[in-house]
Amino acid sequence: MNKHYLIKGDVFKVLPTIKNKIDAVIVDPPYNTANKNTKILKGRKARSSDFGKWDYFSNNDYLKFTEEWLKLITPILKENGNLLVFSKLEYISDIKRIYERLGFKHHATIIWHKTNPAPQIRKNGFLSSCEAILWATHGFDNKKISYTFNFSKQNEMHNFIQTPICMGRERTAHPTQKPKKVIEHLMRIFTNEKDLVLDCFAGSGTLAEVADSMKRNSINIENDQEFFKIMKKRLKDIDGVKVLNIKS
């Protein structure tokens, strides 16, 4: 049976308490996307860009926040561990620079193309249909270390993945829920069965659900009470789930 720890608490309080060595971090942090001027379409609140207070930073605070949580995962990720970080396109080089300063090696940026992005009501700009996933590995200072990279077929290994944003039965009330298909793709390439995978901004628990279906173990951290409830409900039928509460 695979194990999945759901930890309710702040990433900055929880990460220093983790003693396990992590095989891979696949993480979808706040994007700093929220925009108070965004028009909310009736019945399509989940597609607005104003996701909530957790996604509001000034630019400098966002970079500081990113550096601080990346610093905390550095000691717990195994020496050959993979790091996958979701980001909006505008922050790719900032995040890359931050983790390179911490000793990570950047390998590639993967583009996720959403086939059903929010429409451009005013028709004065592009639809925001692409997000980035940055891939780096840990512990490469002049050493030959092999990392997990499960190459399948040439036509499946483009640095591009295309899916709709999640809809229908897969969709929870979390406003920025990632489709399982995207996480499954990353899980297949960057991890193996029995690995321990960390998602320190877990939201609705997409990573844990995918990890269990693919026989991986996971640690999932989320500090928002409502999102944590959504995650617990979503994963209630998985036997290996253990819920922990770290006081903020």
- Residues forming contacts to ligand SAM in the complex (CB under 6 A) are 10-11, 28-30, 54, 174, 176-178, 201, 203-204, 206, 221-224, 227
Tell me the closest approach of the beta carbon of residue 102 to ligand SAM, in angstroms: 18
Nearer to ligand SAM, 189 or 210 (CB): 210
Nearer to ligand SAM, 132 or 221 (CB): 221
Nearer to ligand SAM, 165 or 196 (CB): 165
Tokens of 89: 């396109």
Tell me the closest approach of the beta carbon of residue 65 to ligand SAM, in angstroms: 8
Which backbone phi and psi does 166 adopt, to 5 degrees?
A: -75, 140
Q: Which residue's Cβ lies closest to ligand SAM?
A: 203
Tell me the closest approach of the beta carbon of residue 124 to ligand SAM, in angstroms: 27
The amino acid occupying position 148 is: T
What distances in angstroms separate CA 64 from CA 94, 96, 98, 119, 222, one per listed residue? 11, 13, 9, 32, 19
> Residue 182 in contact with residue 158, Cβ under 8 Å?
no
Tell me the closest approach of the beta carbon of residue 91 to ligand SAM, in angstroms: 13
Tell me the closest approach of the beta carbon of residue 79 to ligand SAM, in angstroms: 26
Nearer to ligand SAM, 218 or 223 (CB): 223
Nearer to ligand SAM, 135 or 201 (CB): 201
| Whole-angstrom distance, CA of residue 83 vs CA of residue 133 | 10
Grouping H, G, I as helix, E, B as strand and the rest as coil, residue 157 is coil
Grouping H, G, I as helix, E, B as strand and the rest as coil, residue 225 is helix
Tokens of 45: 């609140």
